[in-house]
């Protein structure tokens, strides 16, 4: 048994006896959130597409002395989202927290160069996963009379070169605010964290097949413009002068998921190092 999964959470037990479903829990912010909530006492169910990375997170939680299950599937499909919640309910008998973290930009290019298939892939990954999982978890939370859903938006909703991703994440804000008003009287809270650029380990599920998020077939002038924009915005617009790390985003998610935020619902928490949120 190891001592600490997340040093920021050492000693806190806000999720003792609770069950948390973490989508995208095999890497990045999702993995950090799974570790954080497990550190604070939650039993974890990871929903992800990649067995190897999910198993590494699960093993870390088990080594800590926690409890963790994995449900593999494509959460942009209703059937997989429904199966994830069924597995969590069957394993632990309740679902207290849903953290909709699966998602992320795949391509970085002007909208005119996106193919229909690329647009669909961006929307599937960064919106439909949250929509389907939120719908799938509701019957369980309604029956138990409590629950907390945390979605993930982004500071990039008004940025350039990621129109489908920006639209998908803006839609998550609509999902958050509308659903929060609808289920507040049922004891269910729905909030959203909006990270700015976050430093994380290399993706197990790569962007643009692991080459670069800026497709190599773009015209040279277009590529140069996008490279300059990406470099200029990485740190310069963040008052703290650095990108966040996954554990910092996990801390924000844990706060909104916890009873510390019991009177907060329908809100977007900007976790961007002081960068103003565009909404």
Residues that are catalytic? 165
Options 3.40.50.1860, 3.40.50.720, 3.30.420.40, 3.40.630.30; CATH for 14-271 is 3.40.50.720
| Whether residue 260 has pLDDT greater than 90 | yes
Instruction: List the chain domain ranges.
Output: 14-271
246-259 per-position pLDDT tens digit: 899 999 999 999 99
This prediction has a pTM of 0.87
Among 67-71, 162-166, 196-200, 216-220, the minimum mean pLDDT is found in 216-220
pLDDT digits (tens, 9 = 90+) for 211-228: 335 566 667 766 666 666
Helix (H) or strand (E) run with residue 143 in it:
helix 129-144
Longest dimension (CA), the chain: 56
Burial class (CB in 10 A: 0-12, 13-18, 19+), 62: middle
């Amino acid at each position: 048994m190891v001592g600490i999964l997340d040093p920021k959470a050492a000693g806190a037990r806000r999720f003792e006896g609770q069950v948390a479903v973490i989508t995208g829990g095999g890497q990045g912010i999702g993995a950090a959130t799974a570790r954080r909530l497990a550190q604070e006492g939650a039993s974890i169910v990871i929903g992800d597409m990649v067995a190897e990375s999910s198993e590494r997170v699960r093993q870390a939680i088990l080594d800590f002395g926690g409890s963790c299950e994995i449900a593999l599937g494509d959460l942009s499909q209703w059937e997989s989202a429904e199966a994830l919640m069924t597995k969590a309910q069957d394993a632990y008998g309740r679902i207290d927290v849903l953290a909709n973290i699966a998602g992320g930009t795949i391509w970085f290019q002007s909208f005119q160069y996106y193919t229909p298939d690329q647009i669909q892939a961006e929307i599937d990954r960064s919106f439909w996963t949250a929509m389907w999982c939120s719908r799938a978890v509701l019957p369980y939370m309604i029956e138990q009379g409590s629950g907390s859903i945390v979605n993930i938006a982004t500071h990039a909703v008004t940025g350039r070169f990621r129109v489908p991703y920006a639209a998908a994440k803006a839609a998550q804000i609509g999902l958050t605010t509308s659903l929060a008003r609808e289920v507040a009287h049922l004891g269910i809270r729905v909030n959203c964290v909006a990270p700015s650029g976050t430093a994380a380990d290399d993706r197990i599920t790569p962007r643009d097949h692991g080459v670069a998020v800026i497709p190599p077939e773009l015209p040279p002038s277009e590529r140069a413009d996008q490279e300059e924009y990406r470099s200029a915005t990485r740190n310069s617009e963040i008052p703290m002068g650095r990108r966040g790390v996954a554990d910092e985003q996990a801390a924000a998610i844990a706060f909104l998921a916890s009873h510390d935020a019991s009177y907060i619902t329908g809100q977007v928490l900007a976790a961007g190092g002081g960068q103003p949120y565009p909404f």
